[in-house]
Amino acid sequence: MKKALITDRVHPRLIEGLEAMGYHVDYKPMITLAEVHEQVASYAGIVINSKVKMHKELIDKSVNLKWIARLGSGLEIIDIPYAESKGIAVMNSPEGNRNAVAEHCLGMLLALCNHMVRADREVREFKWNREANRGIELEGKTLGIIGFGQMGSAFVSKVSSWALDVIVYDKFKQLSFDEHRNITAVSEADVWSKADIISVHLPYNEDTHHLINKANIDRCKDGVIIINSSRGAIVHTEDLVEALDTGKVGGACLDVYENEKPNTYTKQERQLYSKLYAMEHVILSPHVAGWTKESLFKIADTIVTKIDVLERT
């Protein structure tokens, strides 16, 4: 019987779907990377999340592997060309959590613009600071989107009927929004110079490493708001903190970080992140933008569907 290994927590839909296709499923959400290296040779399929990096060494040990399924969207943890050279199919599941990411980004933005975190804390402390918590409205603002894939397009869909202008740049797509009066395809330079809010929805690679850096921030309007829910290393944290400190960046919504393991911070990183975390014009969350009860099912269902198509071809 063909076997599949699941290395992280998933909805039962994925286990049941694989079993219905004739797989014996080993569900091991607590498995370590070292254990994956030891056991992977016997599997025809593997389901991974961020702790398992399917790079050359591990792929070479995967002598019976037919497919790799990524929970979520980020494919930088898989050496796709090498996997495909070995006849291994690679799939991810951004369709499953794109709505969750879009809702999370919008929620963070609204919370930032209306000082909701601070206001909530102050009311609980019996403080009644109305004027200090006066917010700003999105109406009339320009929202810039960099990257119009599953996540970027989902975010745009949330605000397409709002009374704001949306400008979109995607390096790899010819975009047209003729049917939407308030959405326009523009150049990357236009996003930097015209947007009041910039939301980044990109994969992580050499081209996107530290895309949000001092040089590009300097091209922006004073007081621009930055949203990042894609990958932490797309933002040069030190440059962003400096711009937040000077007011060049008026606020930030961050769900991802260059280092997402606080127990590994160097002294310099601890100082940097401590400064970032102390800023009240920043909304922070622990890489959970796509992490909803609904997305847990939808990611599993997406993977089942894609594996089923693969099995039938």
User: Which sequence positions are flagged as catalytic?
Assistant: 231, 260, 287
How far apart are alpha carbons 81 and 189 in whole angstroms?
31
CA distances to 114, 279, 313 from 132, rounded to whole Å, are 10, 15, 61
Q: Return the DSSP state at 64.
A: T
| Residues 169/152, Cβ–Cβ less than 8 Å | no
Q: What is the number of alpha carbons within 13 Å of residue 136 lying toward its C-beta?
A: 14
Radius of gyration of the chain (CA): 21
Strand order in the sheet with 3-6: 24-27, 3-6, 45-48, 67-70, 89-91
The span from the CA of 302 to the CA of 14, in Å, is 9
Residue keyed to tokens 């929970």: 71
CA distance 175 to 157: 15
Say which residue the tokens 């199919």 belong to. Answer: 89
How far CA 287 is from CA of 52, 161, 164, 230, 291, in Å, comes to 17, 28, 27, 9, 8
Residues 6+ apart with CB under 8 A from 20: none
Could you give the angle at the alpha carbon of 147 between the alpha carbons of 89 and 113, nearest 5°? 130
Residue tagged 């975009």 (tokens)? 175
